Structure 1
């Protein structure tokens, strides 16, 4: 039986970790500077310890201690993506300390020489020097590498989210398994069963199924909105002054409702706000709830993000949810690893990688 042990750098709320754990990869620790990550990471991933620490301060010895006496070692992580996102013009990239975090990831990979490495980030990173340097360093260290920009909806995530995924191995060629679903999961299939709530309301049995309040004018706006539409559908008196200007016409994807029969738009750290994108509920006059956002990120409906009603903060939890690696993408990474290890002669008792690969082959054949 092959034992794969993982340390998850920049672990966040545990989306990648949870996907790995669901497919029998043991995660011993997650590292992040955000203390808000501790509760969801540890509450949902039994045996995985949260380490509040800046990766820049970690040494190879620190990381070796977190791996412990393990078999095959996997180093995983998703460095903060803001400097590489489509909103990068809002940041001073050269001054932003997050710019160099991928180099820190590379430094720790060199120091510990894990058997496997995986990384997830925004697609635009693929063209950036820091990523190209990262790939070249892995190759110099003796890794086979493969990376691709993937549509997460093809791996069971009910969301039009495109991400850069890298896999690397010292044991042979490795690649992400083919798509595991023929048709994208829709918003209706993902959240259509949840109880109705009002703007500013909460479902008593689940404190995360709560929606932000709407001002009177935003309540009028969402009532005038149609699924898949935008503020351009509103009567003139509801249109904001900034949108009436010539520059405002280039922002059609704000104040929009989702559509039941399509995947959701990409979840962001502002996904709880009706005016921040197409985050209006398809039929109820409100923004999506935090629970709905988490489900659209493919977290299980029972995933715990807060210890009590008092711990539910829209800004904090929306940030954790929007920044997370979708759980189903994490499962695809895990199954890619199992398929790779089987190819190079390592065994796994339940053979999830082989099962997923066979399903995918049937879908694309």
Structure 2
């Protein structure tokens, strides 16, 4: 039996969470494509593929096809950034307009142009209720498709994070089924990191840095209990918003994580103590960028910056919060490896399946 190599191209690759996971499962990632230059070092230092700084909307299927070997089983991944569709933003500015789904539409168009053997995507659960998702499924005509809303703490991610995950294959029937793992905890992942104070960074790791706290917020976090809420505070620490009806619906704001549970969903604003339950379980500060990355499944030695570089909270908070968690990438890679090994296919020529 001749086993064909499985090669991937990762659209909207970000800092490489999906690609790193795929390579951990033995898949060769040939390229990662993203418009953000901050992704370049992290991707190429940790992933074997080439990073291409491009707007995905400007790409053609012909360009993408050149990254694959002729005799490879070809995987196209397209995890469009989900920040415009987040629950927080939809609550604050309303449902996204049709044009905001354009990156998902472009992914569907590239699938039809490239005709890869395998396809995967990850996105926020509300995408499933949008017309653009039905259009994407139509673009996958000729593929076997399965998708579901996946709770990633059961994939070994130390975080509660639900995402829509889709897999598709031209090679044969495929099922989105992962081996369930025991959820990991905050303690399992970040407890060994050196203690730092708010506003400090650890000299040996520029990513292990925590944002500053005002004097008032320092008092607030000292009054916060792991897993508790601002309702635990004395009255003089309450903010004006806490007395409003809308404030009652956000009890986790200014909260601390708990050591022996998974973290809450890591967002693009996870470096800010007032942005959610992002307080360290026992140190009087918000979690550091390194801790946020590790809670997204990146290993402690994952290199985000060249030597001497200093990360900005805004840029790297966004990249870490938007990243595809590494354990999901690995689980998808293992699923595709089993699928290809079971079928032992001869790769299709670049024509549409019927």
TM-score, normalised on structure 1?
Answer: 0.90
SS in 1 for 2:208: strand
Deviation at 1:344, TM superposition (A): 1.6
Give the 5 Å matches for 1:104-119: 104-119=106-121
Describe how 1:291-302 pairs up with structure 2 within 5 A.
291-302=290-301
Aligned match of 1:77: 78
* Structure 2 alignment gaps of length 5 or more: 347-354
Distance 2:273 2:179 in 1: 31
State the SS of the aligned residue for 1:150: strand
CA-based RMSD: 1.6
1:103 aligned counterpart, secondary structure: helix
Equivalent position of 2:283 in the other structure:
284
The answer as to whether partners of 2:15 and 2:40 remain within 8 angstroms in 1 is yes
Query: SS of the counterpart of 2:263?
Result: coil
After superposition, give the CA deviation of every residue in 1:219-243 in whole Å (9 maximum; x if it has no partner). Answer: 0000000000111111111111111
Which secondary structure state, in structure 1, belongs to the residue aligned with residue 15 of structure 2? coil
Aligned to 1:165: 165
Aligned to 1:325, the other structure's residue is in SS state coil
CA distance in 1, matches of 2:282, 2:96: 43
Q: Distance in 2 between matches of 1:288 and 1:31?
A: 29
2:57 corresponds in structure 1 to 56
- Work out the number of aligned pairs and report it: 343
Runs of 4 or more off by more than 3 Å in structure 1? Answer: 89-98
| Partner residue in 2 for 1:362 | none
Equivalent residues of 1:227, 1:259 under 8 A apart: yes
Distance 1:159 1:290 in 2: 15
| 2:40 is the counterpart of 1:32 | no
Match of 1:121 among 117, 120, 123: 123
CA-CA distance at 1:120 after TM superposition: 0.4
Q: CA deviation at 1:92?
A: 6.6
* Unaligned ranges ≥5, structure 1: 348-365
Deviations for 1:15-48, whole angstroms, at most 9, x for unmatched residues?
00000011111111111111111111111112x1
Match of 1:21 among 20, 23, 36: 23
Query: What is the distance in 2 between the residues matched to 1:194 and 1:166?
Result: 35
> 1:289-331 CA deviation, whole Å, 9 max, x = no partner?
1111000000011101112444311111111110000001100
**Aligned residue number for residue 315 of structure 1:** 314
Aligned runs of 1:334-353 on 2, under 5 Å? Answer: 334-345=333-344
Aligned to 1:153: 153
Deviates more, 1:78-87 or 1:89-98: 89-98
Kindly report which structure 2 residues correspond to 1:180-219, keeping only aligned pairs within 5 A, or say none.
180-181=180-181, 183-219=182-218
Instruction: For residue 94 of structure 1, report the CA deviation from its aligned partner.
Output: 5.8
Give the Å deviation of 1:262: 0.2
Structure 2 Cα separation of the partners of residues 179 and 161 of structure 1: 17
Q: CA deviation at 1:70?
A: 4.7
Give the Cα separation in 1 of the matches to 2:263 and 2:177. 23
Are 1:144 and 2:126 matched, yes or no? no
How far apart are 1:244 and its partner, in Å?
A: 1.4
State how far apart, in whole Å, the 1-side matches of 2:145 and 2:312 are.
39
For 2:351, the equivalent position in structure 1 comes to none
Closer, same or farther in 2 for the Cα pair 1:210/1:83, shift >3 Å?
closer
Task: Report if aligned partners of 2:171, 2:345 keep a CA contact under 8 Å in 1.
Answer: no
**Residues 87-146 of structure 1, C-alpha deviations (whole Å, 9 max, x = no match):** 3244475657432111100111000100000000111111111112111220x2x10000
Query: Contact 1:5/1:70 (CA < 8 Å) preserved in 2?
Result: no
Q: Distance in 1 between matches of 2:106 and 2:301?
A: 34
The corresponding residue for 1:270 is 269
- Relative contact order, CA 8 A, sep 6+: which one is greater? 2
Partners of 2:96 and 2:296 in 1: CA distance: 31
Q: Which residue in the other structure is 2:352 paired with?
A: none
SS class of match (1:43) = helix
**Following the alignment from structure 2 to structure 1, what is the Cα–Cα distance between the partners of residues 337 and 90?**
36
Superposed displacement of residue 166, structure 1: 0.3
For residues 84 and 36 of structure 2, what CA distance do their matches in structure 1 show? 18
